Amino acid sequence: MIICISGLSGSGKNSVGEEVAKLLSLRVVNPTFKTIAAKRKMSLMEFHRKAEKEHSIDKHFDAHLISEAKRGNCVVTTWLGPWMVKNADLRVWLYAPRSVRAKRVAGRDAMAPEQALMHIDDRDESNHHRYNEVYKIDIYDHTRFELVINTERFRPAQTAQIIAAAARALGGKAVKKAAKKIKKKGKKK
């Protein structure tokens, strides 16, 4: 079972993805530009600007993502996962209003609310433009997604339950194995 979860900045990709992975006993695949930028001693947006000019950065990043996902039984929590991982069993788009996402980013990254709004706008537009230019992918087109969930309405654990229920409905070896494991834990109590 391969589940790909995507969404704009602050939508809850990583928080929800980690919860889904726990529920279904799957590993998490979540390489991030933040991690690479930190290793290069650059700010996230400096690294974004570099990637806008050097498309090899995205291509290398996404090749690594695809390679990790090919190992199977995982939850991928990246911007392009649903488009790049062709054999995904479930594609999920997490949505939250801009103000909600900015509030989350402000809290997470210790930013002033106005700074967080500017940051998510800049980041979302950079990614939208770059992914369209590099791959002809429109991150605002969710027609290939099985689920679109408003994360303003649900906490990460609730969102994860919705996704896990959809994954169980689709089936798959990993999900069946996780279900047996959960059932065994329940019998021991």
Buried b (16+ CB within 10 A) or exposed e, 78-113: bbbbbbbbeebbbbbbbbbeeebbbbbbbeeeebee
Per-residue model confidence as pLDDT tens digits over 130-161: 899 999 999 999 999 999 999 999 999 999 99
Average pLDDT on 63-79 reads: 93
pTM: 0.83
Q: Is residue 12 classed as helix, strand or coil in its secondary structure?
A: coil
Average pLDDT on 62-84 reads: 93
What is the pLDDT, as a whole number, of residue 180? Answer: 56
Closest to 104 in 3D by CA, of 9, 5, 14:
9
What is the pLDDT, as a whole number, of residue 71? Answer: 94
Q: Is residue 138 classed as helix, strand or coil in its secondary structure?
A: coil
Q: Is residue 184 classed as helix, strand or coil in its secondary structure?
A: helix
Per-residue model confidence as pLDDT tens digits over 15-68: 999 999 999 999 999 877 777 777 878 777 777 677 778 778 878 888 888 999
Close Cβ partners of 66 (under 8 Å, ≥ 6 residues apart) = 84, 85
Average pLDDT on 101-107 reads: 95
* Better-predicted residue by pLDDT, 32 or 80: 80
Buried b (16+ CB within 10 A) or exposed e, 13-28: bbbbbbbbbebbbbeb
* Better-predicted residue by pLDDT, 123 or 47: 123
Cβ pair 145, 138 in contact under 8 A: no
Fold classified for 11-170 = Rossmann fold (3.40.50)
What is the pLDDT, as a whole number, of residue 175? Answer: 56
Nearest-angstrom CA–CA distance, 68 and 28: 10
Structural domain boundaries in the chain = 11-170
What is the pLDDT, as a whole number, of residue 70? Answer: 94
Tokens encoding 163? 């996704």
What is the pLDDT, as a whole number, of residue 185? Answer: 53
Numbers of helices and strands, H then E, in the chain? 9, 5
Nearest-angstrom CA–CA distance, 149 and 170: 17
Per-residue model confidence as pLDDT tens digits over 170-186: 885 555 555 555 455 55
Is 189 a residue whose pLDDT tops 80? no
What is the pLDDT, as a whole number, of residue 188? Answer: 58
